[in-house]
Structure 1
Amino acid sequence: MTSTSIGASSRGLSRKYLPRLANDAIIGFNPYIYTSGRWLRHDEQERSARHIPFDFEALSRRVVDLSPGASSIRECIKKEGGFNRVFLFTTDNGQRLVAKLPFTIAGPQKLTTQSEVATMHYIQTKTEIPVPKILDWNDDIFHPVKSEYIIMEHVEGVQLAQVWSMMTGDQRIRCIGTIFQHLKQVANMTFPAYGSLYYANIPLESSCKIPLDQDYCIGPHCGAMYWGCRPSEPRYYQNVESNHGPWSDLQAYCDGLVDTGITRVPPNPDLSTYPRYQGPPTEHLALLEPGRAVMQEISKDPRVLDAAAPLLFHPDLHKRNIFVSVDDPTVVTGIIDWQSASVEPAFWFSQDVPDFATYTPEARDQSHFNQELCAKAYDGSVRLLLPKLATPRLLDESLFRPFRYCYRTWKDGAVAFRHELIETSRHWADLGLPGSCPFALPDDKDLAVHQDHYKRFVAAHDLRRDVAALLNTAPDGWVPAQDWEEACKAHKELFASMSAAVLAYEDPDNDELIKSEADLREIWPFEL
């Protein structure tokens, strides 16, 4: 079946299972290509990475086969996220099923699906957390559907995101309490290693599996950051072998992060296409090895070890992934999207605040008053119900910052990781760490260059945030499909306006970072 619209591609095929409306017309959507939006940066690459060549009729047929008493599909709705395409099927007898197909950028082939299925089954058998029931799955493309997929029952209720604005402050607080009463069950579990969950009989070498019990094991981490899944972020293994885990202790976990950072550094990049704070490959490699030593020393600290307890947690705990009862929104009916859930050091999750607990203290209207209450309810729930997650929140966050930047130096530029190493070295004793920091501070000349580059890095980061806000796009430049032309026009006008403002500076200060249009282009976040 080709990647054309359903109306065109269904000629000569049985229409028995294809989606229908009440008048028997085929719904006009394209199940193969990404249609939800476009990107102001790497648009062609991003959309191409979300193309899935598969057999939609075979998928529809499988859904009908899994629905007792059904003979065809009455309706199908396509939904697209960053890493998956989801089809919401309704059969002719009213049953609703969900089919989820991963994009190649979601993670490593087979392992991503295998781990998601095993994780969901593990949670279902070990806890009472409401997760969707899996009816069928396949990790192999050599079958009629021709794509990896998971078919699940549709969760009852409604997305929390749809009703949150209509909930009272008391309802929101009780809902947050319910969410964490559920998550407490998985947070209380103990694990012998870091990595992703799989069935014990997964066909991997024994060195890649750490037994959990007779049915499950911890194996390679299936997070996309450890694999070359994105066309814009290839991997290079001339300096270090791949390191996907599992990792039996925190120091091994640190090695996995640093090795991942090394594999992202290309051998011969065209540096003229990067901002000046990017740094050549040699600079990245020269930072990552002493950075490894710094992280290894920090990993020995008893406080850090306590904050690094292996924790399985939801990777994207936001309102869109939580379902609640239509009649009572304080009752959680489902927590979905466990793809790439993994066992990480608890501190890895500690700074991620769900969107139902964010709080902006500047505003003082009623909605922000409710947000403040929700933020307090979140903090209280974490302290009382999730001590593993609460422990690292009590420590100085600077202890963990090198961990968060080491694996992405090529994406951020060498300056970001260098800055964390400099700050860690400067405050080594203040952080309560013994001896001296393995990273030596640069001399005054190199420090001055670094400070200039770091100011530009911060300016680029702030510019991305501001431009995205002004254009009403996601930070990566994603725009809903219906807003694409308007966003492109607004983008060009915004750059022209800011460029004109820069050129209007008759006598810019020496400390001014953006003195010319070339300076502005250097840190502009999207493609011009």
Structure 2
Amino acid sequence: MDTGASQIDWNSHNDFFKFTRGRFIVEEAENARKREIRFDMNSLARVAAQSGGAARCIAIEKYPDGMFNKAFLITMDNGQEAIAKIPNPNAGIPHSTTASEVATMDFARKFLETPAPPKSHPVGAEFIIMEKIEGVPLSQLQVLLAMTPVRNSGFAIGPATGRDWCDAGRSDLDVDKGPWASLTQYLQAVGTREVKAIQSLEPPKTVALFCGPKLYRPDTENKLTALAWYQQTVDALIPKDAAITRPCLWHNDLHDDNVFVDPQNPGEITGIIDWQSCHISPLFNHNPDPAFLDWDGLEPETLDLAPRPGLSGLSPEERSAAVQEYSLQNVFIAWRKLMHAKNPDLYRVVEFRRTATYGLIFLAHRIFEYSEAHFQSLLIERIKLDSDGAVAGTELVTEVKEKMGDLWPDKGFIEHERYNDCKADLDEVKGLILEQLAETDEEKAEYERYWPFG
């Protein structure tokens, strides 16, 4: 923290402009360059003072660097405090990213009644000054946006500013960034964007997997082939459930430093910060689980709570770790149970995100970096799954034909005198199929829909 009178030259503090939270192991010079930005801190301090009705700024404290922004706590001579946020060069599309964040906070506060930071002021195109919200981060005490349709002429949907449209140099691509008239157009645009990135950008090194002989080797032709397959299958990948395909505004980064609560009443949220890159996209594209739940273990297969761990024979440290894991897992499962009961549409997103179809959509968004091999493998598995299903369906028909004999309605036709017996046998067959194969009401309804016999 630096304090003093108005004659202080805030621009002399070099650490204000550099990434100082740590060092990068991967491509350090390039990663540091993308997170260093020079601006006039003296002018920013003056604007902050004016916005707070003060004469001058008396203190500036830099918060720990974010990966895409710098934030400063600015204290004025009248005691007021403000937060100044400056996007790094890697934050996203110039102007659009900042303008979108300001508009999103305004929209969330006014129409969704979400406690976002108040009175945001864009300074130029690449600065935001906002009042410091009350409360403390949830992380010091140890959700979600309403899916409500809103129509207001004061707001309009602009070009996409989500991270997948900005990362690894994508923000510089001359591609269609929307808005789009349909889900198909949106998903096709993702594929076109990845093709353009592969053709015109240098792929970044990734810590997601090691590369080299006998391991994965990035291959431009394989990437383009995978995207060609993706473009051909987009329509088949789109889920039929309109509840999970409708566009929604979502905060995808609800970790416990972005949620502020009243320290005297921790159940009351006083503010949610970091709305940068929050975007409107299909509900299934958003992570339904807030990050502050802090569970990174296996996806629970059911909504049953996990059994208590056996603690006998464990050291105190092992016992503490087991209890901690048990607690985190059951809090996560309890969240999912609450979601299932209170917001079934969102729980259907959880179910869809377990499927190979969602995996293909997800991987297509990142083929430029590394995921073409996973995409191709998953697509082949899905084709084999469909093929196996078709073979199983054909074999089932053969079994039924053998069982029914002359009562089987070949080509859907049966004589008058055998009609009732045929119908009775077919009804029995359908009952057995539903009993043995349909695990949910949805699956039962699907079997009913495809059943060929009236």
Structures share fold, TM-score greater than 0.5: yes
Q: Is the 8 A contact 2:84 2:130 kept in 1?
A: yes
Sequence identity percentage:
25
Give the alignment's TM-score, normalised by structure 1.
Answer: 0.62
Matching residue of 1:56:
41
Deviation string for 1:299-354 (max 9, x for gaps)? Answer: 2x523x43212111102111110001111212111111111111111111246552
Alignment partners' CA distance in 2, 1:405 and 1:131: 32
Whole-angstrom CA distance in 1 between matches of 2:192 and 2:138: 39
Q: CA deviation at 1:418?
A: 1.1
- Residues 222 and 372, structure 2, Cα contact 8 Å, conserved in 1: yes
TM-superposed deviation, 1:56: 0.6
The CA deviation string for residues 60-85 of structure 1, in whole angstroms up to 9 with x for no partner, is: 11111122244332342333101100
- Please point out which of 312, 330, 349 is paired with 1:392: 349
**Where does 1:464-475 land on structure 2 (aligned, <5 Å)?**
none
1:295 paired with 2:234, answer: yes
| Larger RCO, structure (CA 8 Å, separation 6 or more) | 1
Offset at residue 413 of structure 1 (A): 4.9
Q: Deviations over 1:205-259 (max 9, x none)?
A: xxxxxxx5311111210124224x645x6877xxxx6121112221111102111
2: distance between equivalents of 1:96 and 1:214?
32
Distance 2:15 2:287 in 1: 40
Secondary structure at 1:86 match in 2: strand
- Say yes or no: does 1:155 pair with 2:133: yes
Q: Aligned Cα RMSD in Å?
A: 3.4
- Which of 415, 418, 423 is the equivalent residue of 2:381? 423
Match of 1:344 in 2: 281
1:246 aligns with 2:160: no
Helix, strand or coil at the partner of 2:53 = coil
Alignment of 1:106-505 (within 5 A): 106-140=91-125, 148-164=126-142, 179-180=143-144, 183=145, 185=146, 187-189=147-149, 213-227=152-166, 230=168, 242-266=175-199, 275=212, 277-299=216-238, 301-303=239-241, 305-350=242-287, 352-358=289-295, 360=297, 365-395=322-352, 396-428=354-386
1:105 is the counterpart of 2:90: yes
Aligned to 1:90: 75
SS in structure 2 at match of 1:257 = helix
**Contact (CA 8 Å) 2:93, 2:172: kept in 1 or not?**
no
1:208 counterpart residue number: none
Residues 279 and 357 (structure 1), Cα distance of their counterparts in 2 relative to 1, 3 Å cut = closer
- CA 1:221/1:296 → structure 2, altered by over 3 Å: closer, same or farther? same
Unaligned runs of 5+ in 1: 1-5, 8-13, 21-25, 141-147, 165-178, 191-211, 436-528
CA deviations over 1:395-449 (Å, ceiling 9, x no partner): 34222111111132231153122112112212236899xx9xxxxxxxxxxxxxx
Report the alpha carbon displacement of residue 163 of structure 1 after superposing the two structures with TM. Answer: 1.3
The residue type equivalent to 1:150 in the other structure is I
- TM-score normalised by structure 2 residue count: 0.72
* Bigger radius of gyration: 2
Separation of aligned partners in 1, 2:47 and 2:7: 9
CA distance, structure 1, for counterparts of residue 117 and residue 171 of structure 2 = 34
Show CA shifts across 1:477-503 (max 9, x none).
xxxxxxxxxxxxxxxxxxxxxxxxxxx
Q: 1:385 to 1:121 in 2, by over 3 A?
A: farther
SS in 1 for 2:257: helix
Q: 1:346 to 1:99 in 2, by over 3 A?
A: same
1:259-311 deviation per Cα after TM superposition (whole angstroms, max 9, x unaligned) = 1211221469799x963533432222122112122222122x523x4321211
Kept after mapping to 2: 8 A contact 1:19/1:73 = no
Letter in 2 for 1:60: A
